[in-house]
Amino acid sequence: MLDLSLANENQVYIQPIVNESPDDVLGILKHSRTLATFSDSGAHVAQEMGSSLQTHLLSYWVRKRGAFTLEEAVKKITHDNAKAWELDDRGLIREGYRADVVLFEENGIRPCLPTVERDLPGSARRLVQKAEGIKATLVNGAVAFENGEATGAYAGTVLKGKLAS
């Protein structure tokens, strides 16, 4: 491992920590109190990252395993999270709600392999994981990403639930 690390400092290693059994993971995902989300607010960006959770849910658990319908999975990663965090104007496409929308190809969405980028202050490294099959991301109605590229539109705001206000 040391020789491999010295030969390529940008090598990505995967270290499964918990929940290695797909049946155990499915049981967790199916539980009514489980939220399909993640966050460490970037505290460990050079060591780990969970940004593929949503695309993995759609590509593996919906498309490959058929464990959820597309509608169930989308509800799980949108409405259920917004409701749990008391973000009353998000999670549904409804008049008066924030227009946060991800347009994706049902049969093409999937996570890409992580890469190492050196774009933090001081050229520090971080792990980045992009996805295929996402056509556009709208934040408050503005197109923030199109075909994986940032558009320069910054319409988002810091989100706070009612208890944090």
* In the chain, beta strands by DSSP E: 101-104, 110-111, 115-117, 126-128, 131-132, 134-139, 142-146, 149-150
What pLDDT sits at residue 3? Answer: 83
What pLDDT sits at residue 155? Answer: 93
User: At residue 54, what is the residue type?
Assistant: Q
Tell me the pLDDT of the chain (165 aa) as tens digits.
778 778 887 776 665 556 778 898 899 899 988 888 876 556 667 776 677 889 999 999 999 999 999 999 999 999 999 999 888 899 999 999 998 999 999 999 999 988 888 888 999 888 888 899 999 999 999 999 999 899 999 999 887 767 665
Please report the sign of the dihedral spanned by the C-alpha atoms of residue 67, residue 70, residue 74, residue 80.
negative
